[in-house]
Amino acid sequence: MARAPRSVSRRLLFAVAVPLVLFFALTVGVLDGVFRELANVALRELLAEQVVGLVTAVDLNRDGGIDVNLLDPESRLEVPGSGLYAAVRDENGKLLWSSASLSGTGLELGMRLAVGGVDFRYQRARDGTQVAELSRGLQWVYAAGESKNLVFTAADSTEPQRRQLWRFRQQMAGWFGALVLALLATMAWMMRRALAPVRRLEQEIAAVEAGAAQGLGAAYPRELAGVTTGLNALLESERNRIARYRDTLGNLAHSLKTPLAVIRATLGTVESADTQRATIQMEIDRMAQIVEHQLKRAAAGGGATLGQASVAVLPLLSELRAAMLKVHADKDLRIDLEVPAQLGFLGDTGDILELLGNVLDNACKWCRSRIAVSAQLDEARALPQRLSIVVEDDGPGIATTDRMRVIERGVRADEHVPGHGLGLSMVRETVAIYGGRFFIDASPGLGGARVELQLPGRSIPGAVG
Amino acid sequence: MRILVVEDEAVLREALRVDLTAAGHTVDVAADGEEGLYAGTEYPIDVAIIDLGLPKLSGLDLIRQLRARGKSFGVLILTARDRWQDKVEGLSAGADDYVAKPFHVAEVQARLAALLRRAGGWASPRLACGPIELDSRAQTVTVRGTAVELTSFEYRILEHLMLRAGEVLSKTELTERLYAQDFDRDSNVVEVLVGRLRRKLDPDDTLKPIETLRGRGYRLSLPRQSAPVAGTL
């Protein structure tokens, strides 16, 4: 199932937050481990010191047992349940002495242990507190050549350590939590700032959609400038297209009214049926011509817009040449193409075919037998480069007055004189849509007409002749 | 002449049928591309009028399929889409001429007459006789791989000679390839064109591609090269 893609900023935030949180969790884990390890080491050292103190406090009594004379009578060893405990056993594990603090805790301190043995373990007192216990088996020499093997044990409650660890964890969680939040907040703020142009783009597009704006503003960062310029070009071409459709519809409706009026008037007259027929036939022809002209005008593309691929000109001209030779089969034509293969037109294939088709068809109609097509690209200019296509023929040429009439702006369909049309006003309009230029003069080489089209173009690399 | 009309619009189809029958032709009609393909394949058609926007099988595909089946009769296309893109597409697919809608039947008749006169204009895309090669789609000719610039009359004479290589073709027959009307038949146009063809195809006079048979006509004497067809008897 396809889900709608999440917003870019959320995605970015997510991509940053997940590793960040994982990283901090790992750090906290490692620090926690290190802290516990250090506390353990400190506890063992403390217990080892207690064992040494115990050893120095032990004395042999009269009946061969031992006495323990604690140096500090206020010591925690004397206070029951103080947390610090000690015991001495003989090598067989028999308890010889235990500290007063041990009474009532339910703890069994010490064990059998060989001389030189060390044991560290935890156990739980009756009240549930945990106790760490260190035992050492030692040979206690009390006179020259006289010794006893004893096991000294010291134990301490881990409660203070546990509290410390808890406090450490609380502090760590507080600091790291605050740090993560601060980093994420910074990140979110930075992303907001970085994505601000995108939000602006969104708003401006919404404004265009709502009809409040004509296009997008300028001053977008480099990464977005391509998109915004392209969108503006698209909007512009769409607007032109719509304007052209509107014009076409208006022209069509208005220019059809005249012939309709003539037909209506003709039917109302007392003229003979044949005359009426002829008039109506003429008006129908005129209407057909009007419809055709306006359709072609409306069908022309929107000029060079974004992402338009360039169309190779030579293959189109070759196809058109073959088509012209068929269509004008009643003439002994020779059409020479002198067009480099890499020339490309920046625009719609249908439009360039229409332009060249009309110009060539016109040349075929008027020439005696020779037509020459040449083209070149002004590669020195920036894109779009100027593609110029010249079609010359050896016909009678086009009179200067007709040239003016064809190029003149605003020649409407119903103003065309039937039979006298040169098919070139369509060409003029399409060339204008592409912001190009269109010239008619006399051909110096062939003596007939010379028609030049200047259009947006570009060189197509890799095209071979 | 037997004419096939393939047009889905009943009124136009009927008008063409009536007018062409009145002009003395035998007319077969088809309302869609598939019917048109059947009629064009099964009946001995001399020329076909094909609308481009047909149901079932488009006009372009119909022409392509007819040509692919070796049908070489003339094809006139009718099109409401009067852009050069559509016309060029139709002509490249194998049509010989076009008439844009709306049209006068008189115009269709004039175009048909011209087509009938040069009937059989469609050759296989490439023809080769000796070192001479002809590409009927691009209407270009090469000799030993070098392009030769021919006028369309020169081209058409050569194409006809190559299509019927080895046969003797009379001047009248060759003249008919060039003109729709009967005028000019006795002129020496064909002689001039053949002379120009000889000079262009064979400037150093070694190949001698076109023979003159006094009083009878001309013959292309180079062997026709057709690609060997594997696996057929």
Could you write out the DSSP letters of every residue in A134-158?
EEEEEEEEEETTEEEEEEEEEEEES
Shortest distance, CA B102 to any CA of chain A (angstroms): 7
Examine residue B74 and state whether it is found in any structural domain, yes or no: yes
- Interface membership of A321 toward B (CB under 8 Å): yes
- CATH code, A430: 3.30.565.10
Residue A94 host element (H or E) = none
Decide if B84 and A354 are in contact by the 8 Å CB cutoff.
yes
Asked if B17 and B105 sit in the same domain, the reply is yes
Rounded to 5 degrees, what angle do the CA atoms A289, A293, A294 make?
A: 120
Q: In angstroms, rounded to a whole number, what is the distance separating the alpha carbons of residues B12 and B5?
A: 10
Asked if A396 and A445 sit in the same domain, the reply is yes
Examine residue B233 and state whether it is found in any structural domain, yes or no: no
Cβ–Cβ under 8 Å, residues A422 and A406: yes
Residue pLDDT, tens place only, B63-114: 999 988 888 888 999 887 778 888 898 888 889 898 887 787 888 888 887 7
Q: Residue B214 has what pLDDT? A: 86
Cβ–Cβ under 8 Å, residues A234 and A305: yes
ipTM above 0.85, yes or no: no
Angle, helices A349-366/B84-93, rounded to nearest 10 degrees: 80
Cβ–Cβ under 8 Å, residues B3 and B26: yes
Shortest distance, CA A300 to any CA of chain B (angstroms): 10
- Interface membership of A334 toward B (CB under 8 Å): yes
Q: Residue B124 has what pLDDT? A: 58
Query: For residue A146, what are the β-bridge partners?
Result: A143
Decide if A322 and B92 are in contact by the 8 Å CB cutoff.
yes
Decide if B118 and A334 are in contact by the 8 Å CB cutoff.
no
Instruction: Tell me: pLDDT of A334 over 50.
Output: yes
Decide if A295 and B114 are in contact by the 8 Å CB cutoff.
no
Residues in chain A: 465
Of A299, A324, A351, the residue that ends a domain is: A299
Asked if A53 and A96 sit in the same domain, the reply is yes
Q: In angstroms, rounded to a whole number, what is the distance separating the alpha carbons of residues A96 and A66?
A: 7
User: Which residue range forms the structural domain that includes residue A77?
Assistant: 10-164
Examine residue A237 and state whether it is found in any structural domain, yes or no: yes
Angle, helices A222-268/A273-299, rounded to nearest 10 degrees: 180
Asked if B66 and B147 sit in the same domain, the reply is no
Within 8 A of B96 by CB-CB distance, chain A residues are 326, 329
- Interface membership of A181 toward B (CB under 8 Å): no
Decide if A320 and B84 are in contact by the 8 Å CB cutoff.
yes
- Interface membership of A167 toward B (CB under 8 Å): no
Q: How many domains does one find in chain B? A: 2
Examine residue A329 and state whether it is found in any structural domain, yes or no: yes
Instruction: Tell me: pLDDT of A421 over 80.
Output: no
Examine residue B230 and state whether it is found in any structural domain, yes or no: no
Asked if B174 and B140 sit in the same domain, the reply is yes
Beta strands A370-378 and B132-135, pairing class:
unpaired
Asked if A281 and A318 sit in the same domain, the reply is no
Q: In angstroms, rounded to a whole number, what is the distance separating the alpha carbons of residues A465 and A339?
A: 9
Q: In angstroms, rounded to a whole number, what is the distance separating the alpha carbons of residues B61 and B40?
A: 13
Nearest CA in chain A to B180: A330
Within 8 A of A332 by CB-CB distance, chain B residues are 151-154, 178
Examine residue A378 and state whether it is found in any structural domain, yes or no: yes
Nearest to A326 among B97, B150, B154 (CB): B97
Q: Residue A73 has what pLDDT? A: 67
- Interface membership of A280 toward B (CB under 8 Å): no
Within 8 A of B85 by CB-CB distance, chain A residues are 349-350, 353-354
Indicate the DSSP class of residue A413.
G
- Interface membership of B103 toward A (CB under 8 Å): no
Examine residue B228 and state whether it is found in any structural domain, yes or no: no
- pTM for the model stands at 0.57
Examine residue B226 and state whether it is found in any structural domain, yes or no: no
Asked if B112 and B130 sit in the same domain, the reply is no
Decide if B85 and A350 are in contact by the 8 Å CB cutoff.
yes
- Interface membership of B91 toward A (CB under 8 Å): yes
Q: Residue A420 has what pLDDT? A: 35
Shortest distance, CA B108 to any CA of chain A (angstroms): 13
Asked if A447 and A336 sit in the same domain, the reply is yes
Asked if A454 and A320 sit in the same domain, the reply is yes
- Stretch B192-203: mean pLDDT, rounded? 89
Instruction: Tell me: pLDDT of A227 over 80.
Output: yes
Asked if B108 and B130 sit in the same domain, the reply is no
Cα A197 off chain centre by: 14
- Interface membership of A323 toward B (CB under 8 Å): yes
- Interface membership of A330 toward B (CB under 8 Å): yes
Beta strands B74-79 and B47-51, pairing class:
parallel
Asked if A357 and A316 sit in the same domain, the reply is yes
Asked if A276 and A333 sit in the same domain, the reply is no
Q: b/e map of B96-107 (b: 16 or more CB within 10 Å)?
A: bbbbbbebebee
- Interface membership of B218 toward A (CB under 8 Å): no
Tokens (6 digits) for B174: 């060759």
Asked if B58 and B160 sit in the same domain, the reply is no
Of B96, B117, B138, the residue that ends a domain is: B117
Tokens 């260190």, residue located: A134
Burial class (CB in 10 A: 0-12, 13-18, 19+), A393: buried
Decide if B88 and A295 are in contact by the 8 Å CB cutoff.
no
Asked if A52 and A130 sit in the same domain, the reply is yes
| CA distances for B213 relative to A132, A449, B96, B156, angstroms | 129, 42, 31, 20
Decide if A320 and B153 are in contact by the 8 Å CB cutoff.
no
Decide if A320 and B97 are in contact by the 8 Å CB cutoff.
no
- Stretch B164-178: mean pLDDT, rounded? 81
Of A299, A329, A348, the residue that ends a domain is: A299
Of B117, B142, B166, the residue that ends a domain is: B117
Residue pLDDT, tens place only, A10-35: 888 888 889 988 998 899 899 999 99
Tokens (6 digits) for B70: 């070796």
Residue pLDDT, tens place only, B26-72: 889 999 999 999 999 988 888 899 998 888 899 999 999 998 888 88
Q: In angstroms, rounded to a whole number, what is the distance separating the alpha carbons of residues B220 and B129?
A: 9
Contact map slice: B 68-87 vs A, CB within 8 A: 82-85, 87
- CATH code, A107: 3.30.450
Within 8 A of A353 by CB-CB distance, chain B residues are 83-85, 88
Q: In angstroms, rounded to a whole number, what is the distance separating the alpha carbons of residues B161 and B155?
A: 10
- Phi then psi for residue A139, to 5 deg, are -95, 110
Asked if A39 and A60 sit in the same domain, the reply is yes
Decide if A325 and B139 are in contact by the 8 Å CB cutoff.
yes
- CATH code, B197: 1.10.10.10
Nearest to B138 among A299, A322, A336 (CB): A322
Instruction: Tell me: pLDDT of A229 over 70.
Output: yes
Q: Residue B77 has what pLDDT? A: 92
Residue A255, SS3 per DSSP: helix
Examine residue A115 and state whether it is found in any structural domain, yes or no: yes
Q: Residue A417 has what pLDDT? A: 40
Examine residue A175 and state whether it is found in any structural domain, yes or no: no
Asked if A260 and A350 sit in the same domain, the reply is no
- CATH code, B21: 3.40.50.2300
Query: For residue A336, what are the β-bridge partners?
Result: A372
* Number of separate helices (H) and strands (E) present in chain A: 9, 14
Instruction: Tell me: pLDDT of B181 over 70.
Output: no
- Phi then psi for residue A274, to 5 deg, are -65, -45
| CA distances for A453 relative to A87, A310, A359, A375, angstroms | 113, 17, 9, 9
Shortest distance, CA A185 to any CA of chain B (angstroms): 60
Shortest distance, CA B189 to any CA of chain A (angstroms): 11
Asked if B10 and B108 sit in the same domain, the reply is yes
Nearest CA in chain B to A296: B83
Examine residue A199 and state whether it is found in any structural domain, yes or no: no
* Residue partners of B164: CB distance under 8 A and separation at least 6: B220
Q: In angstroms, rounded to a whole number, what is the distance separating the alpha carbons of residues A415 and A42?
A: 108
Instruction: Tell me: pLDDT of A78 over 60.
Output: yes
Q: Could you please report the per-residue DSSP string of A62-90?
A: TTS-EEE--S-TTSGGGSTTSSEEEEEEE
- Interface membership of A326 toward B (CB under 8 Å): yes
Nearest to A319 among B92, B114, B149 (CB): B92
Of B78, B97, B117, the residue that ends a domain is: B117
Asked if B108 and B148 sit in the same domain, the reply is no
Decide if A353 and B83 are in contact by the 8 Å CB cutoff.
yes
User: Which residue range forms the structural domain that includes residue B177?
Assistant: 126-220
Nearest CA in chain B to A359: B84
- Interface membership of A368 toward B (CB under 8 Å): no
Examine residue B204 and state whether it is found in any structural domain, yes or no: yes
* Residue partners of B13: CB distance under 8 A and separation at least 6: B5, B7, B29, B31
Among B63, B67, B88, the strongest candidate for a mutation testing the A interface, having the largest count of A CBs within 10 A, is B88
Residue A358 host element (H or E) = helix A349-366
Examine residue B229 and state whether it is found in any structural domain, yes or no: no
Examine residue A142 and state whether it is found in any structural domain, yes or no: yes
Shortest distance, CA A272 to any CA of chain B (angstroms): 23
**Residue A386 — very low, low, confident or very high, per pLDDT cuts 50/70/90?**
confident
Q: Residue A416 has what pLDDT? A: 44
Cβ–Cβ under 8 Å, residues B13 and B49: no
**Residue A465 — very low, low, confident or very high, per pLDDT cuts 50/70/90?**
very low
Instruction: Tell me: pLDDT of A369 over 60.
Output: yes
Residue pLDDT, tens place only, A105-155: 888 888 888 888 888 988 888 888 889 999 999 888 877 777 888 899 999
Among B12, B60, B81, B84, the strongest candidate for a mutation testing the A interface, having the largest count of A CBs within 10 A, is B84
Asked if B12 and B107 sit in the same domain, the reply is yes
Cβ–Cβ under 8 Å, residues A61 and A67: yes
Shortest distance, CA B233 to any CA of chain A (angstroms): 35
Nearest to B83 among A319, A328, A350 (CB): A350
Q: In angstroms, rounded to a whole number, what is the distance separating the alpha carbons of residues A428 and A410?
A: 10
Cβ–Cβ under 8 Å, residues A133 and A113: no
Q: Which residue has the higher pLDDT, A217 or B182?
A: A217
Q: In angstroms, rounded to a whole number, what is the distance separating the alpha carbons of residues A49 and A35?
A: 21
Asked if B113 and B130 sit in the same domain, the reply is no
- Stretch A180-185: mean pLDDT, rounded? 89
Q: How many domains does one find in chain A? A: 3
Give the number of C-alpha atoms closer than 13 A to the C-alpha of residue A57, restricted to the C-beta side. Answer: 21
Examine residue A384 and say whether the peptide bond preceding it is cis (omega within 30 degrees of 0).
yes
Asked if A294 and A435 sit in the same domain, the reply is no
Asked if B138 and B113 sit in the same domain, the reply is no
**Residue A427 — very low, low, confident or very high, per pLDDT cuts 50/70/90?**
confident
Of A299, A330, A351, the residue that ends a domain is: A299
| CA distances for A263 relative to A273, A413, A416, angstroms | 13, 18, 19
Asked if A281 and A351 sit in the same domain, the reply is no
Examine residue B10 and state whether it is found in any structural domain, yes or no: yes
